[in-house]
Amino acid sequence: MSSALDREYDAQLAKVTGPGGAVQLGRDAQGRVIVTNFPATLPAMFDVFCMLNGAAEAVVADGERLTFAALDARATEVAKALAGGFGIGKGDRVAIAMRNCPAWIVAYMAVLKAGGIATLVNGWWQADELRHGLRLTDPKLVIADAPRAKRLAETGLAIDHVALPVEKRIDAALAPLLARGGAAAALPDIQPEDDATILFTSGSTGLAKGALSTHRAVTTGLYAYAISLLVLVGIMEKEGRAPTNAPKTLVNVPLFHVTGEVPVLLNSFVIGRTMVLMAKWDPGEALRLIQDEKITYFVGVPTMSLELMQHPDRDSYDLSSLTDIAAGGAARPVAHVKRLQDSFPAARPALGYGLTETNAAGCGNFWQNYADKPASTGRPHRPIVEIAILGEGDRHLPPGETGEIGIRSASNFRCYWNDPEASAAAFSADNFLKTGDVGYLDGDDYLFIVDRKKDIIIRGGENISCQEVEAAIYSHPAVSEASVFGVPDERLGEVPAAVIYSEDDRALDGEGLRAFLAGRVAQYKIPAHIWVHHTPLPKLGTGKIDKKLLRERYREELAKAA
């Protein structure tokens, strides 16, 4: 039986999306639900909501404060420079490789206004990873901060790029982009089905793929979150506890991740929410900012909220403004839900589930529902998202049966860039994205994720391809065999572990392999646990390494040691 909160949510949703409601709905050519009275392209969305929320603070970073109107004006100025000074036009990829900063946001807005495809580079990538991503997407321009510009030079690729001094105030930071002129350039007319973004995702095939989305897809993912917030605010107002503080979010997740891009960054434009930027995660600094800036909304990978709970100075700060603590990007341990409620009694925990390929749309679990079903990622983002559990031959399975999770939505990505085979394999015949996650729906339409089909590790929200790490390990001359898999970790959810076979028992140990991998793969991909064998690893009948056996053996060994 559905909960009282679910029944109230559904009643408020009917008001928000019904006749005369704030959100009007329609269907696209494939029959998927879309929002018809909000802008369907990102440039139009920026212009409309920056006008509506113009006087509100949009960004706070390093003592600088920018309103939505100021942000939009600068983005339009830079967009004209991109179009006129750099020759950026419709369909041109422009890579953004920077840490979280105001210039990142302006560059992102400007690329989209100029008709380009905003290509969001993982800021932790090292030279080899960066080389692959840029070769794959072939951007016409790279906009970087100084550390990423240095890594770009290390790739040996000849790509036009601009390095921005992002540590300076916004006008000085953007000056190199404006230096080529082009202020009189006309900006193109953008249509909903034009391509908008490429985000990189690691899967079981090893090297990162570029997920390409249209403006319609990104804005639909955005509006899935905006609708949910409108409904929740409606419930609060009905209960006589309307929000008293202006909405503010701490931007502590990377903007190049889909969580940072869609539910955090883009949703802030729609609801007029101030974004307080962190250049890098620091739980002590996060506590200070929550107090000083009166942050109302916190979202991050579960590790981050855990570190807030465990911080020795937590009780020294006034955190009473915080009303919501959400998590996404990785599973939150069930035990953490009660700890969150005890640690932050004024804040309500929530959990989201979405993919890069769905522009973050998927499911949400919140408030008392999350306390009642802490192992679930919640119900689908209605009415935007449909969830199906796919069995053999992609047959839809009934509640309670376990299969691959499928998501159908107008927020789904269009394809993987230059990878038609992977693109075709990503969808069922009835247009459900095949997520690679395994789960089931209960009788109340709550989704429970129980496993993954893909050979990936999710370390604190970062997807790690086991195959990619194995390939890096195999480049060591002393390694004959390698198997990489995830093992549980209290803080990060799971971390990579590796078992290797080295024929020379004096040639290699764990620390030596970690030192070898440093600089070859991003730090978060380096195995936390390494076991060195001096006999061949166990094999399946096919001759492949028996990864399942190794994973179970070493997970059990770690559990006993703990």
C-beta of residue 346 within 8 angstroms of C-beta of residue 324: no
Residue 459 backbone dihedrals phi, psi, to 5 degrees: -100, 105
Q: Which residues form the domain of 99?
A: 70-214
Q: Would you tell me the crossing angle of helices 102-113 and 170-178 to the nearest 10 degrees?
A: 40
Beta strands at 447-452 and 433-441: parallel, antiparallel or unpaired: antiparallel
360: left (phi over 0), alpha (psi -120 to 50) or beta: left
Three-state SS string across 299-359, please?
EECHHHHHHHHHCCCHHHCCCCCCCEEEECCCCCCHHHHHHHHHHCCCCEEEEEEECHHHC
Q: Which residues contact 326 (CB under 8 A, 6 or more apart)?
A: 297, 298, 299, 349, 350, 351, 352, 366
User: Which pLDDT value is given to residue 139?
Assistant: 98
Report the distance separating Cα 30 and Cα 382, nearest Å: 17
Q: Is residue 113 in a domain?
A: yes
- Tokens matching residue 549: 């056996």
Read off the CATH number of the domain in which 464 is found.
3.30.300.30
- Specify if 329 maps to a domain: no
3-state secondary structure 165-212: CCCCCHHHHHHHHHCCCCCCCCCCCCCCCCEEEEEEECCCCCCCEEEE
Domain boundary among 214, 244, 268: 214
Length of the chain: 562
The dihedral formed by the CA atoms of 84, 85, 91 and 93, expressed in degrees to the nearest 10: -160
Tell me the β-bridge partners of 390.
396, 404
C-alpha atoms less than 13 angstroms from C-alpha of 155 in its C-beta half-sphere: 22
Indicate whether 207 belongs to any domain: yes
Which candidate, 146, 150, 148, places its Cα nearest to that of 119? Answer: 148
Q: Which one, of 319, 328, 311, lies nearest residue 370 by Cα?
A: 328
Spatial strand order in the sheet of 386-390: 386-390, 403-408, 433-441, 447-452
Q: Is 549 inside any structural domain?
A: yes
The single-letter code of the amino acid at 44 is A
Contacting residues for 545 by C-beta, under 8 A, at least 6 apart: 481, 483, 537, 538, 539
Task: Report the alpha-carbon distance of residue 169 to residue 177 in Å, rounded.
Answer: 14
pLDDT, the chain, mean: 92
Percent helix, strand, coil in the chain, to 5, is: 35, 25, 40
The residues facing 379 across adjacent strands are: 364
Report d(CA 352, CA 364) in Å as an integer: 4
Q: List residues bridging with 341 in a β-sheet.
A: none
Check which CATH number belongs to the domain holding 123 and give it: 3.40.50.980
Six-digit token string for 310: 């465990």
DSSP state of 155: H
CB 133 within 8 A of CB 155: no
Q: DSSP labels for 59-100?
A: EEETTEEEEHHHHHHHHHHHHHHHHHHS---TT-EEEEE--S
% of the chain surpassing 70 pLDDT: 97
In a domain, 85, yes or no: yes
List C-alpha distances in Å: 42 to 239, 355, 519, 528, 546: 34, 19, 36, 40, 47
Q: How many domains in the chain?
A: 2
Tens digit of each residue's pLDDT, the chain (562 residues): 789 999 999 999 999 999 999 999 999 999 999 999 999 999 999 999 999 999 999 999 998 999 999 999 999 999 999 999 999 999 999 999 999 999 999 999 999 999 999 999 999 999 999 999 999 999 999 999 999 999 999 999 999 999 999 999 999 999 999 999 999 999 999 999 999 999 998 754 567 899 999 999 999 999 999 999 999 999 988 888 878 889 999 999 999 999 999 999 999 999 999 999 999 889 999 999 999 999 999 998 777 887 888 889 999 999 999 998 988 776 676 767 877 888 888 888 899 999 999 999 999 999 999 989 988 999 999 999 999 999 999 999 999 999 999 999 999 999 999 999 999 999 999 999 999 998 999 999 999 988 777 778 888 888 888 878 888 888 888 888 888 999 998 888 899 999 998 877 566 888 889 999 998 899 999 999 999 988 888 876 555 678 888 989 999 988 888 7
Rounded Cα–Cα distance for residues 105 and 368 (Å): 34
Domain boundary among 167, 196, 214: 214
Q: Which of 172, 155, 78 is nearest to 121 (CA)?
A: 155
Contact 484, 466 (CB under 8 A): yes
- Tell me the CA distances in angstroms from 514 to 395, 469, 508, 527, one per residue in order: 44, 11, 10, 7
Boundary-marking domain end, from 214, 248, 267: 214
Q: Is the peptide bond between 383 and the residue preceding it cis, with omega within 30 degrees of 0?
A: yes
What's the pTM? 0.87
Report how far residue 306's alpha carbon sits from residue 281's, in angstroms, rounded to the nearest whole number. 13
Say if 516 falls within a structural domain.
yes
For residues 73 and 425, what is the distance between their CA atoms, to the nearest angstrom? 42
* Residue 433, CA atoms < 13 Å, CB-side half-sphere: 25
Residue pair 478/508 in contact (Cβ under 8 Å)? The answer is: yes
Within the chain, how many helices (H) and strands (E) appear?
18, 27
Residue 215 is predicted with a pLDDT of: 98
**334 is a domain residue:** no
pLDDT, residue 204, reads 46
Could you tell me if residue 355 is inside a domain? no
Cβ(428)–Cβ(434) below 8 Å = yes
